[in-house]
Amino acid sequence: MTANLLERAFAEPGLRPLPEAAVGLLRAVDAPPRLGAHLRAVHHVAVELVDWIERELRVDRELRVDREAVLFGAATHDIGKVRFPGELSGAGTEHEAAGEALLRSLGVEERLARFAALHGRWERDGATLEELLVTLADKVWKGRREAGLEEQVAQVIAGATGEPVWAVFMRLDDELTRIAGDADERLAFQARFPVGT
């Protein structure tokens, strides 16, 4: 029954589908349905963020976003929760390093596996735009706004494009407000799927 519910979390209409590679990994680790639904909601928001950057900021030589990495990272960032199922419904960070190790053990390259370990550590020096976007998607999918994270994203974008930070921040704020406005639908989607078997 759990497998059927996981498949339903992958297939139910309303959110963008996960990348096939991520679906295969989640099946391989027998992910709980709630985890599949959560990852799909975060991935959906990550697609919106990358689309916005590509459309509104006219990505060129100065600002490149590794779309594949962001979307795969969003689709697998919490995979370590299969090892720490209590963190599916409660706080905790043990899933982060465990998730990266699990992905690496399944043959996922470091470039893509790193998001599992880094999505909770956005304040560290050297965080890439891709890492920040996965973290941002993991916050705003449920309507949560994190001013420091948003400022950091705006600074990275402004540094690459030459735009004033305040101008990028204002545009980013408008987009995040729009995305957060649909949070109730994503939360309802996730809530339809059980945490365990």
Are 70 and 50 a contacting pair, CB within 8 Å?
Answer: yes
Q: What domains are there in the chain, each with its CATH number?
A: 2-191 (1.10.3210)
Compute the CA torsion angle 70, 75, 79, 85 (nearest 10 deg). Answer: 130
User: For residue 19, what is the DSSP state?
Assistant: P
Give the model's confidence band at 184: pLDDT under 50 very low, under 70 low, under 90 confident, else very high. Answer: very high
Give the model's confidence band at 76: pLDDT under 50 very low, under 70 low, under 90 confident, else very high. Answer: very high
Report pLDDT for 63: 72
* Residue 93 Cα distances to 3, 106, 151, angstroms: 26, 21, 23
Three-state SS at 97: helix
Three-state SS at 18: coil
Interatomic CA distance for residues 44 and 101, integer angstroms: 24
- Model-level pTM? 0.94
pLDDT tens, 21-39? 999 999 999 999 999 999 9
